[in-house]
Amino acid sequence: MKHRFVSKRYWKDQQTPMGKVDELAKNYNDVINLSLGDPDLTTHELIIRKSFEDASAGHTKYTDFRGDPELRAEICKYYKDMFGMTVKDEEVFVSASGCLAMYLALEAILDDGDEVILQAPFFTPYPQQVELARGIPVELPTYEEEDFQINIERLESLITERTKALVINTPSNPTGNCLTVDTMEKIAEIAEKYDLIVIADDIYTSFSYQHPFVPFASLPGMQERTIIINSFSKDYTMTGWRVGNIIAPECIIKTVQQINENVVFTAPSISQRAALHGMRNRQIVQPEMVEEYRKRVYYAAERINEIPNMHVLYPPKGTFYLFVNIKDTGLDSVDVSDIILREAHVLTIPGIAFGNCGEGYIRLACTVNVDTLKEAFDRIGKVSIFQK
């Protein structure tokens, strides 16, 4: 929006394909929304009940600047119990969402003009978050024919004297793929060779269907050069509570705290209590939820692979997203997404929204139940571009 009262940095229209499709969806009253990754399930009743009991008991004030001490202790315990990692209290910061955690981390480590390599296809806010922190985003493409693994030679070719960090995301939004331990070990060698910081976006750790999740920071020598970004949004179905955390070397955490005190001061106290109860009771609140999304994503993948001119890697490896190859249509992802919306009234996101290497794909979020997914794919199967 060009206006004399608006910073010139924001004069350029930065509306994404995601936003444009969402606006078009408002023209229909029977849209099935497979676009945004906002789980349809409600936060588990146990979390809601216990957090509101805490609110009634007085947990309605500012917390410690780094977060509720009980929650920080639970985060440290979780990493010890699950992954055998020793995380010190001074290395933990509780943030008002995973998105804010990523921005705070970037703001803490980047000097003007530093380059950040982004595993692509990537979560759509990454590039602008890097730019907001005055850095330069550099896209590192991954490809379906390479199982969406990071190609180490390609990674190394992008490193310059200004490269400061690499952002990885596994399980991945949007591809749903998981980096192998072998791939991560090779990334670790590159990080040591070029003295890089690795920002590990570990948002979907509970949704690793084929193999147990392995944190990048748990690899030998990597904890000291890794920033872990966590969120309770997906692993605990708590998108609206807006709470996440950062695990990083103490010097980075101190800097993050200083920045955050001038942004939101502290994360919401009640949300932090909810996160605490979620972690303490994860064996109760997670299994049924994870199984429900696994069932949905497997069903959706099977239906997709039955429809001409689209396919997806099978079996799905993680998250509740599917990155659907639509190259056989001969159309670009924006056109395909638009046709699906107009003819089937199903909302998807064009792959180009996730980086240049996302062209030729659309992303589906399986955040509706199987019956609704069935209706969605029954409709999509009748769309003109998916006929034999």
* Domain range annotation of the chain: 9-38+286-383, 45-282
> How far is Cα of residue 297 from the mean position of the Cα atoms in its chain?
17
Average pLDDT, the chain: 95
Whether the pLDDT of residue 267 is over 90: the answer is yes
Whether the pLDDT of residue 360 is over 80: the answer is yes
Higher pLDDT, 94 or 24: 94
What string of DSSP letters covers 321-348? EEEEE-GGGSS-HHHHHHHHHHHH-EE-
Neighbours of 325 (CB within 10 A): 17
Which pTM does this prediction carry? 0.95
State the pLDDT at residue 344. 97
- pLDDT, tens digit (0-9, with 9 covering 90-100), for 110-169: 999 999 999 999 999 999 999 999 999 999 999 999 999 999 999 999 999 999 999 999
- What the block records as the tokens of 123 is 């979560």
Whether the pLDDT of residue 15 is over 80: the answer is no
Amino acid identity for residue 344 in this structure: A
Task: Enter the DSSP assignment of 328.
Answer: G
Name beta bridge partners: 167.
118, 199
Is 207 in contact with 177 (CB distance < 8 Å)?
Answer: no
- pLDDT, tens digit (0-9, with 9 covering 90-100), for 37-83: 888 899 999 999 999 999 999 999 999 999 999 999 999 999 999 99
Whether the pLDDT of residue 299 is over 70: the answer is yes
The CA R_g of the chain, rounded to the nearest whole Å, is 21
Is 353 in contact with 17 (CB distance < 8 Å)?
Answer: yes
Question: CATH number of the domain at 45-282, out of 3.40.50.300, 4.10.490.10, 3.40.50.1820, 3.40.640.10?
Answer: 3.40.640.10
State the pLDDT at residue 26. 81
Beta strands in 134-225 (DSSP E): 136-141, 163-169, 197-201
State the pLDDT at residue 11. 82
User: Helices 17-25 and 333-344, interaxial angle, to 10°?
Assistant: 10
Phi and psi angles of residue 87, each rounded to the nearest 5 degrees, phi first: -110, 125
pLDDT > 70: percent of the chain = 97
Q: What 3-state DSSP class applies to 347?
A: strand
Lowest mean pLDDT among 26-40, 174-188, 321-335, 347-361: 26-40
Name beta bridge partners: 139.
118
Residues 6+ apart with CB under 8 A from 251: none
Question: CATH number of the domain at 9-38+286-383, out of 3.90.1150.10, 3.40.50.300, 1.10.10.60, 3.40.920.10?
Answer: 3.90.1150.10
Whether the pLDDT of residue 22 is over 70: the answer is no
- 9-38+286-383 shares its CATH topology with 45-282: no
